[in-house]
Amino acid sequence: MEFKEAKNKFLQSWGAFGSQWGINKTMAQIHALLMVSVEPMSMEEIMEELQISRGNASMNLRALMDWGIVYKEFKPGERKEFFIAENDLDELAVKIAKERSKREIKPALKVLKEVSSIKPDKTQEEQHFVEQTAKLYDFVLKADDVLDKITEYKDNWLTKLVVKFIK
């Protein structure tokens, strides 16, 4: 397989994986492109490489920066903005875990706490509902606590081992 073909296959596959991970295809492709680029890239270069519109590139670059996994880089004498991806894979994993927790786990916890806090009548159905949603809340809370501890203590040797195991 030639380099160009391998790069294209990687970008296309990473985009497809992104859809499964809960982000859009273009966001994943931009991230993949920046991860494998030797030099920072301008928005125009990203648009040309991925054949996407300026609006699409701009929106997805902003989202990647909001996640903290893509940064702007300025070049002396250039008016254009350039972009680079987080290169430290451990840091990348931590940032993605924190963002996913904020966007997915914390809202789920809020709903589970609310619905499991109702005062059930005497019906078996209501009691079962409260018991099950309370168990689910406890489980998700424990999982979130573990994730928080892993991301807080990423410099700890044991946590590094766990993070590598999770990857």
> Where do the domains of the chain lie?
3-85, 89-166
CATH topology (fold) of 3-85: Arc Repressor Mutant, subunit A (1.10.10)
CA torsion angle 70 83 41 5 (round to 10): 10
Rounded to two decimals, the pTM is: 0.72
Per-residue pLDDT in tens (0 to 9) along the chain, 167 residues = 899 999 999 999 988 888 777 789 999 999 999 999 999 999 999 999 999 999 999 999 999 999 999 999 988 888 899 999 998 887 887 888 888 888 888 999 999 999 998 887 778 998 899 999 999 999 999 988 887 877 776 555 555 666 666 66
pLDDT at position 160 is 63
